[in-house]
């Protein structure tokens, strides 16, 4: 009796999987469909990991360049404890605003983790609420960063000059914190959109909440990058 050939990924009547062809033909066959290439990992999650890896290279280049400048420059580098100090009730407190910003952003990682947890429990209301709370914390962080920028600009700090010391300080500060702030702003918008889709029941109809977890990966990455910026730029 004649039989028709099975395509890659199909099973025969005994339910045993059909093996991919050997060599390059098998590789092409596997990667021709995300069903085969990402059998163990959702394709969206895999693409997010690839994006985050590329973003890691960019931030690594920025921080490496910053450290190279710090170690080779001969001009005095401004003291972060003095530059980023705030005067509260007549007393100058070093790095108080940066400490609050860090606390806000790290706290947002907790709310995002809880949102993912409730997403897989199919609790739409709590998932959306926690995601919107995470986005709100992100917006708060960006707002405090805008205040920090305006304070330094008012004190004469520019990307091409700095009355407090090395001119490279301004360029490093605005480039690194600005690029990270852009990520936080985009992330807050991204989380808000996903939260609205959760409330609308879009993921309930599709039967999975992978997009919530994917958004969480992005947000945790943004938080992790800030830890390195905080350590290298503000504490060094």
Q: What is the pTM of this model?
A: 0.81
Q: Which of 17 and 29 is assigned the larger pLDDT?
A: 29
Tokens 């959760």, residue located: 198
Contact by Cβ (8 Å): 96, 86: yes
For 42-51, 106-115, 118-127, 226-235, which range has the lowest pLDDT when averaged over its residues?
Answer: 42-51
**Which domains does the chain show, CATH number per domain?**
35-234 (1.20.120.80)
Q: Which of 104 and 77 is assigned the larger pLDDT?
A: 104
Mean pLDDT of the chain: 86
The answer, yes or no, to whether residue 117 has pLDDT greater than 70, is yes
Question: Which of the four pLDDT bands, split at 50, 70 and 90, describes residue 87?
Answer: confident
- For 141, residues 6+ apart whose C-beta sits below 8 A from its C-beta are 101, 104, 105, 108, 184
Partners of 86 in the β-ladder: 93
Q: What is the pLDDT of residue 1?
A: 43
Q: Distance between CA atoms of 95 and 75, rounded to whole angstroms?
A: 23
The answer, yes or no, to whether residue 191 has pLDDT greater than 70, is yes
pLDDT digits (tens, 9 = 90+) for 128-155: 999 999 999 999 999 999 999 999 999 9
Q: What mean pLDDT comes out for the span 94-99?
A: 93
The answer, yes or no, to whether residue 36 has pLDDT greater than 50, is no
User: What proportions of the chain, in percent to the nearest 5, are helix, strand and coil?
Assistant: 70, 5, 25
């Amino acid at each position: 009796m004649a039989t028709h050939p099975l395509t890659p990924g199909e099973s025969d009547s005994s339910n045993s999987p059909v093996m991919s062809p050997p060599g390059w033909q098998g590789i092409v066959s596997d990667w021709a469909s995300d069903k085969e290439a990402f059998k163990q990992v959702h394709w969206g999650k895999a693409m997010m990991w690839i994006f985050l890896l590329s973003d890691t290279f960019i931030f690594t280049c920025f921080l490496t360049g910053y450290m190279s400048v710090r170690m080779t420059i001969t001009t005095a580098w401004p003291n972060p404890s003095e530059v980023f100090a705030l005067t509260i009730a007549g007393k100058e407190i070093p790095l108080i605003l940066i400490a609050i910003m860090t606390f806000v952003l790290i706290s947002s990682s907790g709310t995002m983790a809880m949102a993912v947890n409730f997403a897989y429990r199919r609790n739409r209301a709590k998932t959306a609420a926690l995601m919107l709370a995470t986005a709100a914390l992100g917006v708060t962080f960006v707002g405090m960063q805008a205040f920090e920028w305006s304070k330094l600009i008012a004190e004469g700090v520019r990307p091409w000059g700095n009355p407090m010391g090395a001119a490279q300080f301004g360029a490093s500060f605005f480039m690194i914190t600005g690029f990270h702030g852009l990520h936080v702003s985009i992330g807050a918008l991204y989380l808000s959109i996903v939260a609205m889709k959760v409330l609308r029941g879009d993921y309930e109809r599709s039967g999975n909440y992978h997009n919530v977890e994917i958004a969480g990966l992005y947000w945790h990455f943004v938080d992790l990058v800030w830890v390195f910026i905080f350590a290298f730029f503000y504490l060094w």
